[in-house]
Amino acid sequence: MRGLISVGGKRSDLVKAVVRSVCYGNGGTRNRTNGPSSGGPVSMAYTSFQSTRPEQANQLSPIIIMHGLMGSKTNWKSMGKAINLKTGRQVYTVDARNHGDSPHTEHHSYPLLAEDLLFFLHEHNLPQAVLMGHSMGGRAVMAAALIEPSVVEKLVVLDISPVGTSTSISTLPRFLEIMRKVTLPPTVNIQEARTHIDNLLQPVIQDAGVRQFLISNLFFAENEYRWRLNLEGIARNFNPHISTFPASLTSKVFEGETAFIGGALSDYLRPENEEKIEAIFPQASFHYLEGAGHWLHADKPREFLELVTPLLNP
């Protein structure tokens, strides 16, 4: 159904929710390159934007934002701050496992990303939160809401769907392969390195903005160039764990308030799939941002902020 629907989230004791959904064990921060090799949650790196309204600080649930595939919390720095100012809610932007400053792991799937989000709530003693995610992050927050609905006040899913997929996703393994094969001598400066990779990617990625988005993960440390992404792990798990939403979760239902926001120029969220989505998220509302593609928050930041703010407000 279209338009905003107000449905209050169901609250429950966090400890019970955590115990029901997964056995977490010790929650210390793990080394970025030596994350767990088997299944289980990781401690995600994050940036926090504190509430600017002290009188509401203890009354409003925080917002947790997870980026898309091959992104990071840095992509959401400006928007996260703007959302914090607009809503008065504390905002956490997180790095998903195998991305940014979070641990690199052998396994990568939406149930595991959901466990990481639930573990984040446990670590920060948050009884409930608004979960918002873009693309891969959108599927992660959907999975979290379906696995443990009681800790999710609201759900905001950006340009992704639990059913179907975009035709463009088939090209992503080729991007990964090119990035994995890049070799750069330590003698070249960062600008030369980025230009070289940009030239390698240009034949398969015509959009310069997308190329720069991928290249932003390159950094220099200990006399060598590295990626902030675990390219091997992402490539190994891409089919089927990243490319599709797990069928086992589509039999579940999240009854809470849910908003799907798509770019009108994107095919990741399609109007013809709304009925199927409503079977999983019966309180869903659907919104399409004119003139925006898959990276809708970057394509139309002002319009996106105007659209999402009332969806995030109490």
pTM: 0.87
Higher-pLDDT residue of 56 and 50 is 50
Distance of alpha carbon 286 from alpha carbon 269, whole angstroms: 9
Model pLDDT, residue 5: 25
Instruction: Please pick, among 135, 150, 266, 285, the residue that the annotation labels catalytic.
Output: 135
Model pLDDT, residue 16: 37
Res. 21 pLDDT band, cuts 50 70 90: very low
Instruction: Please pick, among 232, 274, 278, 303, the residue that the annotation labels catalytic.
Output: 232
- Checking if the pLDDT of 224 tops 50, the result is yes
Domain boundaries, the chain: 14-165+244-312, 168-237
Please say whether the dihedral angle defined by the alpha carbons of residues 227, 233, 235 and 240, taken in this order, is positive or negative: negative
Model pLDDT, residue 170: 82
Distance of alpha carbon 221 from alpha carbon 272, whole angstroms: 47
Judged on CB neighbours under 10 Å (0-12, 13-18, 19+), 227 is middle
274 catalytic? Reply is no
Res. 167 pLDDT band, cuts 50 70 90: confident
Higher-pLDDT residue of 52 and 139 is 139
Peptide bond into 240 cis (omega under 30): yes
DSSP bridge partners of 226: 219
Higher-pLDDT residue of 169 and 148 is 148
SS (H, E, C) the chain: CECCCCCCCCCCCHHHHHHHHCCCCCCCCCCCCCCCCCCCCCCCCEEEECCCCHHHHCCCCCEEEECCCCCCHHHHHHHHHHHHHHHCCCEEEECCCCCCCCCCCCCCCHHHHHHHHHHHHHHCCCCCEEEEEECHHHHHHHHHHHHCHHHEEEEEEECCCCCCCCHHHHHHHHHHHHHHHCCCCCCCCHHHHHHHHHHHHCCCCCCHHHHHHHHCCEEEECCEEEECCCHHHHHHHHHHHHCCCCHHHCCCCCCCEEEEEEECCCCCCCHHHHHHHHHHCCCEEEEEECCCCCCHHHHCHHHHHHHHHHHHCC
Model pLDDT, residue 38: 52
**pLDDT of 63-76, one tens digit each?**
999 999 999 999 99
232 catalytic? Reply is yes
Percent of the chain residues topping a pLDDT of 70:
85
**pLDDT of 107-154, one tens digit each?**
999 999 999 999 999 999 999 999 999 999 999 999 999 999 999 999
Model pLDDT, residue 39: 64
Model pLDDT, residue 57: 61
Average pLDDT over residues 225-254: 96
Pick the CATH number of 14-165+244-312 from 3.40.50.1820, 1.10.1740.10, 2.60.40.420, 3.30.70.870: 3.40.50.1820
Res. 8 pLDDT band, cuts 50 70 90: very low
**Average predicted confidence (pLDDT) for the chain:** 88
How close are the terminal C-alpha atoms of the chain, in Å?
20
Average pLDDT over residues 169-194: 93
φ, ψ of residue 48 to 5 degrees: the values are -120, 135
Res. 169 pLDDT band, cuts 50 70 90: confident
Percent of the chain residues topping a pLDDT of 90:
78
294 catalytic? Reply is yes
Instruction: Please pick, among 107, 108, 294, 297, the residue that the annotation labels catalytic.
Output: 294
Please tell me the number of Cα atoms within 13 Å of 290 on its side-chain side: 0
